[in-house]
């Protein structure tokens, strides 16, 4: 049986646990252990930002070790970078901004694209260009009230993932406003965080997410 297409896999994993682990600063030597901690806690959407040390090597290690996860790259800013991460095995492209050339390249390669947006105009452009969902970034500038307003005008099926400043304290407010899921960074992993600590934090996030409406 063939593997599901990346977009189908993404939707399946979002339905299971819509939390994307952002491993900014991770090194290749840590990738397998941290990935195992996340997958063991039920997290299967993982991104390595390209401003991390040797990000493509970390992506390759995660792809090889965790075929049941969808591994991607974050801070993807150019079409060339999209091609590089695709060659490394990543099938998820996350950007802090909306660059239509980056989005087109990801879509052309059959990848899952989550561009960053800060306005309704950008959100409609991203979804119209083939984005699998939109990264609401930085979430500090898009409070729950703004997410609710966006949700009222976008396609009800559109996936909205606030990123930046999301914590266990404001998780419920964003979900009540219509957030589909979240990207979780420094409260889950930062340079120096052990795999054991990641496992504990990932379990807390999963429990908190399951406890919110």
Active site residues: 47, 135
H/E run at residue 161:
strand 160-162
Name the token pair of 113: 């694209």
Strand arrangement of the beta sheet that strand 160-162 belongs to: 116-117, 134-136, 160-162
H/E run at residue 136:
strand 134-136
* Distance from C-alpha of 132 to C-alpha of 110, rounded to nearest angstrom: 11
Beta pairing class for 160-162 and 134-136 = parallel
- For residue 138, how many C-alpha atoms fall within 13 Å in the half-sphere facing its CB? 5
CB atoms within 10 A of CB 5: 12
Question: For tokens 């909205």, what's the residue?
Answer: 160
């Amino acid at each position: 049986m063939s593997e599901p297409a990346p977009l189908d896999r993404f939707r399946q994993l979002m339905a299971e646990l819509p939390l994307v682990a952002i491993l900014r600063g991770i090194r290749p030597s840590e990738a397998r252990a941290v990935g195992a901690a996340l997958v063991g806690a039920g997290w299967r959407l993982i991104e390595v930002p390209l401003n991390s040390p040797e990000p493509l090597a970390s992506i390759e290690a995660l792809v090889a070790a965790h075929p049941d996860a969808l591994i991607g790259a974050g801070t993807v800013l150019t079409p060339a970078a999209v091609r590089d991460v695709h060659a490394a095995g990543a099938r998820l492209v996350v950007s802090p901004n909306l660059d239509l050339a980056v989005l087109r390249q990801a879509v052309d390669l059959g990848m899952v694209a989550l561009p960053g947006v800060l306005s309704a105009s950008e959100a409609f452009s991203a979804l119209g260009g083939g984005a699998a969902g939109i990264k609401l970034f930085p979430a500090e500038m898009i409070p729950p009230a703004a997410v609710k307003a966006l949700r009222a005008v976008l396609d009800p099926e559109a996936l909205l993932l606030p990123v930046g400043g999301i914590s266990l304290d404001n998780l419920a407010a964003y979900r009540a406003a219509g957030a589909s899921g979240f990207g979780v960074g420094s409260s889950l992993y930062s340079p120096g965080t052990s795999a054991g600590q990641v496992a504990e934090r990932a379990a807390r996030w999963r429990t908190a997410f399951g406890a919110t409406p």
